[in-house]
Amino acid sequence: MDKKADFKKRVLFLAISIVLNSFSNALTVASHCGSALWTASSVNLSEWFHFPLGNVLFVEGIAVVIANAILLKQLEWHRMLGNLVFMIPFSYLVGGISNGLDTHGFLNLPLGIRVLADILGIVGIGIAVSIYQRANIVLHPNDDLTYIVRFKFMHGKAATAQWISYIPAISLILLTFTVTGHIYAVGLGTLLAFVLQGAVTGWADRHVFTTLKHHLNI
């Protein structure tokens, strides 16, 4: 496949992954059964400061962009701009979709259905991360952090890199709990994300859209 055709394919996969990731994260928020750790940290900050979730997701992402530049020991403006390009639709899609699900009574569904939706959301996030990490056109800064840790420090080990990259999110959740005395969006889904999301990403690398290979940029 020539470079132009390959790039078009990667753009298509990027679009698919952004929609999948946004919807999956929104499912975990609306289910109230536990979100992935970075999303949970944003929900807690949103509740603490009474800011819209989409705005908090965006600001938190900017902070991670800076952290990534420190890890890479250089300012890669193309990479940083790509992070911003990813964050804008993702942040506000998650906020909008989760609000829409709340408005339409998603929380009133039976607990079993919400737990299933939460699990599907966590799996969907892991698959989406695999897709856009392999396409590697632009990444969400949180996932770019995992990507940097995975290939720069962890020799490609997805699960280990995922656990390490969760440390800042866990710290933010603990900070908000210390100040407010409340924890939001932490539950079964959070535990599953912590234990399994990296493994799901590694599994998806091998089994989902197998023609899409990693385009490394470390």
Tens digit of each residue's pLDDT (9 = 90 or more) over 169-201? 999 999 999 999 999 999 999 999 888 888 898
With respect to residue 82, please indicate whether it lies within any of the assigned structural domains: yes
Burial of 159 (0-12, 13-18, 19+ CB in 10 A): middle
Quick check: 218 pLDDT over 60? no
Domain that holds residue 28: 3-207
Mean pLDDT score across all residues of the chain: 91
With respect to residue 218, please indicate whether it lies within any of the assigned structural domains: no
pTM, two decimals, is 0.86
Residue pair 188/31 in contact (Cβ under 8 Å)? The answer is no
- Note the pLDDT tens digit of each residue in 137-174: 888 898 789 889 988 899 888 778 888 998 999 999 99
Rounded-to-integer distance, Cα 10 and Cα 127, Å = 15
With respect to residue 88, please indicate whether it lies within any of the assigned structural domains: yes
- Average pLDDT rounded to a whole number, residues 115-142: 92
186 or 210: which leads in pLDDT? 186
Query: Looking at the 3D structure of the chain, how many domains does it have?
Result: 1
With respect to residue 102, please indicate whether it lies within any of the assigned structural domains: yes
Rounded-to-integer distance, Cα 34 and Cα 17, Å = 21
The token duo for 54 is 């989409």
With respect to residue 216, please indicate whether it lies within any of the assigned structural domains: no
Residue pointed to by tokens 């952290």: 67
Rounded-to-integer distance, Cα 211 and Cα 214, Å = 10
With respect to residue 212, please indicate whether it lies within any of the assigned structural domains: no
Residue pair 129/160 in contact (Cβ under 8 Å)? The answer is no
With respect to residue 217, please indicate whether it lies within any of the assigned structural domains: no
Rounded-to-integer distance, Cα 178 and Cα 191, Å = 20
Quick check: 49 pLDDT over 60? yes
